[in-house]
Amino acid sequence: MSHDSRATPALFTQVDITAGAQLTGPRDSQDVADEQVGLLRNILAAQDRQNELLEEMISQFGAAQRQRNVELGQWKQSNPDLARNCRMAAEALSQVQVEFLGTMTREINENAEALMDGEFMLNEFVDRFGPRLAHLNGVLQILAQLSSTPNPANT
């Protein structure tokens, strides 16, 4: 076999991928440092502004929450019997919820494969338990909020 001594083209070539303008020469290190310092100051200013906005937001949400707590406390003082009845109803309904969750989990455990395999069975399960659970949780939440037991986090 003979070996051809002709020059073969290079497999890799350089491609200029700079965006538009070419650098005219090496930049002065002081210019680069000044630019970096300026960028860092801009970032710091933006973070300071974000912190100010977050503090304002927290203040607004906190004020609204405090106002709701005051109004709820006034309602509880104006309606102590109803608040006490709400507490008793919440405790009773909580026991109903425990029984309901027990029934639901037994149903899931007994029919796990059918629920995974069949869309019809899953839809039936959701239709049977979903709305009840959602409404039960909503009623319990309202009763708990209106109950006479003060929330230790808000006192």
- Per-residue pLDDT, 13: 66
Q: What is the mean pLDDT of each run of 10 residues along the chain (155 residues)?
A: 59 66 64 92 96 95 92 90 92 95 94 88 91 94 81 48
Residue ranges per structural domain of the chain: 30-78, 80-155
CB 148 within 8 A of CB 86: yes
- Per-residue pLDDT, 154: 47
CB 114 within 8 A of CB 50: no
Query: pLDDT tens, 100-127?
Result: 999 999 999 999 998 888 888 889 999 9
- Per-residue pLDDT, 19: 66
Three-state SS annotation for the chain: CCCCCCCCCCCCCCCCCCCCCCCCCCCCHHHHHHHHHHHHHHHHHHHHHHHHHHHHHHHHHHHHHHHHHHHHHHHHHHCHHHHHHHHHHHHHHHHHHHHHHHHHHHHHHHCHHHHHHCHHHHHHHHHHHHHHHHHHHHHHHHHHHHCCCCCCCCC
Separation between Cα atoms, residue 10 and residue 55, nearest integer Å? 61
- Per-residue pLDDT, 26: 57
- Per-residue pLDDT, 147: 86
The predicted model scores a pTM of: 0.54
